[in-house]
């Protein structure tokens, strides 16, 4: 069983996974055997991999952008851009949907289940509406 991960080990694994480094190379960088390295990698991988429907913040040309993942690829995701929460100066350069490499993702948040009739909820907390009682 793998020992508890230090902050440095976690940071190294996360950085190398985002770069697409092989698992055997990561184990070598950690100075552990391959099997122990795999356990450590899987522990970190589960915590850093976004999922479909997650709201992400990412960088493009030094600007912060926000969007929702609509499809996952191997080391990247198809993201629908939300321009009201992104830098509008990039609107002429980026399509409504774009590919974002995992290494460019700054942060991601799992959103609450979406009801198609109510529109998209971009906050991780459910919206509480004021209801007038008659």
In tens, the pLDDT along 41-62 reads: 888 877 777 888 889 888 888 8
CB neighbour list of residue 44: distance below 8 Å, 6 or more residues apart = 5, 10, 13, 14, 17
| Angle value at C-alpha 72, between 67 and 75, nearest 5 degrees | 100
Band of pLDDT at residue 83, cut at 50, 70 and 90: confident
**pTM exceeds 0.75, yes or no:** no
**Distance separating alpha carbons of residues 82 and 18, to the nearest angstrom:** 24
């Amino acid at each position: 069983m793998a020992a508890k991960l230090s902050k440095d080990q976690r940071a190294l694994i996360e950085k190398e996974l985002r770069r697409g480094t092989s698992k055997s190379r990561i184990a070598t960088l950690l100075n552990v055997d391959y099997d122990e390295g795999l356990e450590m990698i899987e522990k970190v991988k589960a915590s850093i991999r976004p999922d479909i429907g997650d709201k992400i913040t990412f960088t493009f040309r030094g600007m912060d952008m926000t969007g929702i993942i609509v499809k996952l690829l191997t080391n990247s995701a198809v993201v629908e851009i939300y321009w009201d929460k992104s830098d509008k100066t990039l609107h002429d350069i980026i399509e409504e949907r774009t590919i974002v490499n995992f290494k460019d993702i700054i942060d991601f948040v799992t959103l609450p289940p979406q009801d198609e009739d109510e529109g998209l909820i971009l906050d991780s907390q459910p919206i509480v509406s004021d209801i007038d009682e008659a």
